[in-house]
A and B are shown apart, each in its own frame.
Chain A
C-alpha cells in the first residue's frame, strides 16, 4: 500500500520560518515527482510547489522566494522550507505524489497519493 505522511506543522509567528517534512511508503519519495498543495481554512486547494528530476523545482507566485522544496535521498523524505511566513500562509499543507500520464504523446501529471495534511498557523 502507498502511504504519504506529513509532519512539521504548528503555530508560527509572522515573519518566522517552518520546515515541513513528507515521508512515504510503497514508493520512493526521494525520486518520484512530488508536490505540495495547501488549503486555507474553509477555502479551496492551492498548488504550492513541485519537484521533478534533480533540482527541477517550481513554485506558485505567492510563495516564490520564500519557500524551498527539496529532497533528502538518504532519508527518503521531501521537505518544504518556509520563510517570511505571513498570516495568509495559514493552511493545511498536503504532500502528494505526482503520477505521470501521457496524452497526445505529451507527458502530464496528476496528484495520485496524498498525505493527511499538516496544519501551519501563522499568528502572533
Chain B
C-alpha cells in the first residue's frame, strides 16, 4: 500500500499568515493527490484534486503543488474560516485509497 505522511502534524497561525502544509507519498503517485478540509464535527470537504486543480467554489487563496512524491497545500492569507484540519489523499492506486494523518491549523 502507498503510505502518506504530512508535516507538520499541527501548526499555529494568525489571520493573514501564509500557511504551507506538506504531504509526502511512499512512492511516486504522479499528480494523483487530493486535499480535503475538515472542521470539527463536520464531514471533510474537497479543496483540490490532481495536485493543483481547485475544486469549483473553493477560494483562490488555496493552492496546491508538487508531483511525484512531494506535495504542498498553501493558504496564501489565512482567514478565520480556514482554521481546520487538512488531509491529503492519494488516488494513484484507485483500488486502495490512502489518506495522510492530517494537519491541524489553529
Chain A residues proximal to chain B, CB less than 8 Å: 35, 37, 44-47, 50, 58, 60-61, 94, 96, 99, 101, 103-104, 107-112, 114-117
Contact = CB atoms under 8 A, between A and B. Distances in A.
How would you classify the secondary structure of chain A's contact residues: helix, strand, loop or mixed?
Answer: strand
A47 B36 contact: no
A116 B42 CA distance: 7
Interface residues of B, number: 29
A96 B99 CA distance: 14
B45 to A, nearest CB: 7
Interface string B79-106: 0000000010101101111111110000
B46 interface: yes
Contacts of A117: 43
Interface in B10-65: 30-32, 34, 36, 38, 42-46, 49-50, 53, 55
A111 B87 CA distance: 12
Interface of B: 1, 30-32, 34, 36, 38, 42-46, 49-50, 53, 55, 87, 89, 91-92, 94-102
B30 A104 contact: yes
21 contacts: A44-B87, A44-B99, A44-B101, A45-B38, A45-B89, A47-B99, A61-B1, A103-B30, A104-B30, A107-B94, A108-B32, A108-B50, A108-B91, A108-B94, A109-B94, A110-B46, A111-B36, A111-B46, A111-B89, A116-B43, A117-B43
A21 to B, nearest CB: 16
Contact of A47 (B31, B42, B45, B98): B98
Contact of B43 (A44, A94, A99): A94
A58 B96 contact: yes
Contacts of B100: 44
